[in-house]
Amino acid sequence: MSHVRERHRGFLMAELIVTFTLLGVIVVGLAVSVHGFGLFNRYEWARQRCLAAAQAQLDSMAVRRVSIDGETCARLWPGVTIAVQQQPGTGQWAGLQLIEVTATAQAGPRQTIVELARYVEPHEGGQAR
C-alpha cells in the first residue's frame, strides 16, 4: 500500500503571525522616526527664528544705534524673546561699546538660546540707546 502525500497550498498560521509582526515593527519604527523628525524640525525652526531675530537686533543696534521695539519683534518673530545688554569694551576693546543680544524660544520640550555679540563705536552723543 502506498501512501500518497498531499501538498497543502496557502499560508500557514505561523507565516501569517510572522508577517504581521514584521509589519507592526516597521509601522512602529516609522511612527517613531516621523515623531523624532517633527521634534527636530520644530527645534530647527525655533533656532532659525532666534538667529534671525538676534542678528536683526544686533544689526539695528550697530547701524542705527536703536533697538527694534518689542511689538515689531513679536510680529516678525512670534514666540521669540530678545534681551539686549550694552557695556563698555575692556582691554584691547576699550573705547568701543559691546552689544550682546540673547534670543530665546521654546521648541517643544527644549528651549533654544542664541547669543550674539558685537563691538561697535559708541554713538556720538554718548552711549548707544
Q: Where are the domains of the chain?
A: 13-120
Bridge partner residues of 100 (DSSP): 85, 117
DSSP, collapsed to helix, strand or coil, labels residue 59 as: helix
pLDDT of residue 122: 84
Tell me the whole-structure pTM to 2 decimals: 0.71
In tens, the pLDDT along 52-98 reads: 999 999 999 888 888 899 899 999 999 999 999 999 999 999 999 99
**CATH fold for domain 13-120:** Pantoate--beta-alanine Ligase; Chain: A,domain 2 (3.30.1300)
**95 Ramachandran zone, left/alpha/beta (phi>0; psi -120 to 50):** left
Nearest to 116 by CA among 13, 66, 47, 20: 47
Per-chain mean pLDDT for the chain = 87
CA distances 68 to 57, 77, 100, 101, Å, are 6, 12, 14, 12
